[in-house]
Structure 1
Amino acid sequence: MSKLSLQGKYWFVLGLTLALSILVMYVSVTNGTFDISATDVLRTLFRMNSSKEYDLVIFDFRLPRIVIGALVGLGLGISGAVLQGITRNQLADSGILGIHSAAGMAIVLFMFIFRGTIGTHWLSTMAMPIFGWFGGLGAVVLLLLFARQQGGLDPQRLILVGIALGLGFGAITLYISLKMDPQDFEMATVWLAGSIYSKNWLQIAAVLPWLVLLIPVIWWRAYKLNLLHLDEVSVSGIGLNVNRERMIFLLCCVGLVSACVSVSGSIGFVGLIAPHIARRLVGFQYKYIIPVCGAIGILMVLVGDFIGKTIFAPAELPVGIVISIIGVPYFIYLLFKKRK
């Protein structure tokens, strides 16, 4: 495939995915327990409608939820692509490697310490991603410690160690949550299931700087992910410091995942599925894969959230559970495919 045709395919896929995401956003903001017409939505957005009901529904309930879903999908999709690139393992993602669980454990501990201030006090809300980042960083240190073999990362050991770490951090998270009072325990349980229900603009302000700072760094260095797929002799010949580059990408991924987990809880499989779909659609160049993964992640989370809030209405199913229902069969399919 020529460079021009590959670029054309990339722009087509990216544009189509973003267009579908915008369509899902439109359906989500106009449909629900209280339906609103597109005209009323536009009049409210441009402050041409003085209805307090519309202001409450759109600005306080629906728009923050949609924006959070888009930001979380963007961060998780891109982090999944990067983790699969630096490990050279197509089964790697932040959930399977235990980073999700470690960040979640740190944030549940944060909830336990600073109870009653989450989502309402600006200082605690802004500090949550930092707390999660330290938790995710701890998981990375343990991964590097236990998954190294003969001076490098062994892909099979990485997956096994990641699963073990995820179970361990999950057990600690459960222990901490059981020490909470009933109200905080309920909040932590809903959050751990991967829910973007009742989010607010303060939480958007907490996660947005991490994405704005880290995603450009990842995209600017995307060509180095292609180089990391070369054999060790070739990489040494071009003078690339493999360990330094992997560490930079790992720290960026931990930052993205921790920021997303701090506002949405544990939404798994986005970082696993999005890169596989992206590679099928635009090939193996990471300068194309990363933006498409972000767009696919946005679409997955928005669709999952819309399904969760409508299929069992008036009850709601967390988006994390909806995506897991789809992701588990796909993960099993990938495992069988790698064995062939």
Structure 2
Amino acid sequence: MPVSEQPTPAEPQTATVPQAPTDERGRGRSRRRLRPAAPPPGARVAIVGVLVVVAAVCYLLLFIRGSFQFAFDRRLTTLGTMVVVAFAHAVATVVFQTVTSNRILTPSIMGFDSLYVMMQTAMVFVFGGSALARTDGLPKLVVQTVLMVLFAVLLYRWLFAGRFANLHLLLLVGVVLGLAFGSLSSFLQRLLSPTDYDMLSVRLFGRMSNSDGSYLPLAFTVCLVVGAVVWHRRHRLDTLLLGRDTAVGLGVDHKRELTVLLVLVAVLVAFATALAGPMTFFGFLVATLAYQLTGTHEHRFVLPMAFLLGLFTLVAGQFLMQHVFYAAGFLTVIIEFVGGIVFLVLLLRKGTL
């Protein structure tokens, strides 16, 4: 009897769920999501502030030989000079870059360093190298600062009151005057005796340890006053970043703000240069790092970050150069060398960060 074939039950069909594409781009996005969030700008400023305190304590208290009181007082004076120089160059550079809307410019382009060198050279040429030591003191510092600020004020007033007044013309005239001062200084230096030239060369390199403690009260007063004015205008500085037309549309007197801020920059740079000598790229270096580390353009974060970075660079650099490499006098040379390299890199990248 034939066996009847029974139909085999059909296998259950399982629905296939489409899988999301797992390409490299998707994996990259997922990895980026898993990264920890970066600290806010305020926390970054606080971290750098802690590093500054640690570096200052190490510089003041470690590796003291001989009289503790003598060494501590001398280091405290040097630290006070570092505070003034770091504040002046950092704040002046950040404000100047905001005013000019250019991140690769420094206040040195206005010829302040060249004017300082020319004044020192002219003094040695007329009165001899010994005049540098005879005239040291607070009056000389004040006179040099006043002359440099007057130069800036007259330059701003002449250019901004002219028919074709604009910022680009101001920068161009500043570059030309700086080159003229530098050429005149070089010519006078060639006429000096070897002894006078050696005495002059010592003054033309920035050194933190050459300052006099009697200068610091006036220096701190100037920094506090200028710093208070700049901090009060921090929101206007943020507005200036939007451009001239936008700032005017938001109610900012662009010409007045430009003049006031440039005069404040002149005061800071002139005082720092007269106190510790010319430092061309120091402010540019710390301002560039401040923008990178804060990740923002808000001046309430950029200004303190630039100041703290500048102070940390000077204090930590002085500590290493003095106690590790035994070449404390070369700190400003190394800073200027590194700052010049960063400037060239940004210039070749067309200033894009």
TM-score category (smaller protein): 0.7 to 0.9
1:326: Cα distance to partner?
Answer: 0.9
- Please name the residue that 2:53 is paired with: 22
- Please name the residue that 1:190 is paired with: 202
Moved more, 81-90 or 188-197: 188-197
- Which amino acid is 1:240 matched to? V
- Which amino acid is 1:116 matched to? A
- Which amino acid is 1:16 matched to? I
Change (3 A) 1:206 1:316: same
Moved more, 168-177 or 289-298: 168-177
Change (3 A) 1:332 1:144: farther
Q: In the alignment, does 2:67 pair up with 1:64?
A: no
Change (3 A) 1:116 1:142: same
Q: Is the 8 A contact 1:107 1:262 kept in 2?
A: no
Change (3 A) 1:248 1:28: same
- Please name the residue that 2:114 is paired with: 101
- Please name the residue that 1:278 is paired with: 290
Q: Is the 8 A contact 1:18 1:295 kept in 2?
A: yes
- Please name the residue that 1:79 is paired with: 92
Change (3 A) 1:203 1:89: same
SS at match of 1:209: helix
- Which amino acid is 1:55 matched to? Q
- Please name the residue that 1:134 is paired with: 147
Work out which of the residue numbers 92, 96, 102 in structure 2 matches 1:89.
102
Change (3 A) 1:103 1:177: same
1:179: Cα distance to partner?
Answer: 7.0
- Please name the residue that 2:262 is paired with: 250
C-alpha distance in structure 2 between counterparts of 1:152 and 1:326, whole Å:
32
- Please name the residue that 1:171 is paired with: 183
- Which amino acid is 1:94 matched to? P
- Please name the residue that 1:326 is paired with: 338
Q: Is the 8 A contact 2:120 2:200 kept in 1?
A: no
Work out which of the residue numbers 30, 36, 40 in structure 1 matches 2:64.
36
Q: In the alignment, does 2:67 pair up with 1:53?
A: yes
- Please name the residue that 2:279 is paired with: 267
SS at match of 1:290: helix
C-alpha distance in structure 2 between counterparts of 1:78 and 1:319, whole Å:
21
| Structure 1 residues not aligned, in runs of 5+ | 1-5, 38-51
Change (3 A) 1:182 1:15: farther
Work out which of the residue numbers 1, 6, 10 in structure 1 matches 2:41.
10
SS at match of 2:110: coil
Moved more, 69-78 or 206-215: 206-215
Change (3 A) 1:110 1:70: farther
Tell me the alpha carbon deviations over residues 189-215 of structure 1, each in whole angstroms, 9 at most, x when there is no partner. Answer: 222111112333112234222112111
Work out which of the residue numbers 251, 274, 293 in structure 1 matches 2:306.
293
SS at match of 2:42: helix
- Please name the residue that 2:253 is paired with: 241
1:177: Cα distance to partner?
Answer: 5.7
Q: Is the 8 A contact 1:267 1:319 kept in 2?
A: no
Q: Is the 8 A contact 2:237 2:299 kept in 1?
A: yes
SS at match of 2:350: helix
- Which amino acid is 1:200 matched to? D
Q: Percent sequence identity over matched residues? A: 20
TM-score normalised by length of structure 1: 0.78
C-alpha distance in structure 1 between counterparts of 2:239 and 2:104, whole Å:
19
Change (3 A) 1:146 1:115: same
* RMSD of Structure 2 on Structure 1 (CA): 3.2
C-alpha distance in structure 1 between counterparts of 2:48 and 2:330, whole Å:
23
1:67: Cα distance to partner?
Answer: 1.5
C-alpha distance in structure 2 between counterparts of 1:172 and 1:205, whole Å:
34
C-alpha distance in structure 2 between counterparts of 1:138 and 1:249, whole Å:
15
C-alpha distance in structure 2 between counterparts of 1:66 and 1:248, whole Å:
30
Q: In the alignment, does 2:133 pair up with 1:116?
A: yes
- Which amino acid is 2:166 matched to? G
Tell me the alpha carbon deviations over residues 310-334 of structure 1, each in whole angstroms, 9 at most, x when there is no partner. Answer: 4552x54343212112111101111
| Structure 2 residues not aligned, in runs of 5+ | 1-36
C-alpha distance in structure 1 between counterparts of 2:163 and 2:299, whole Å:
26
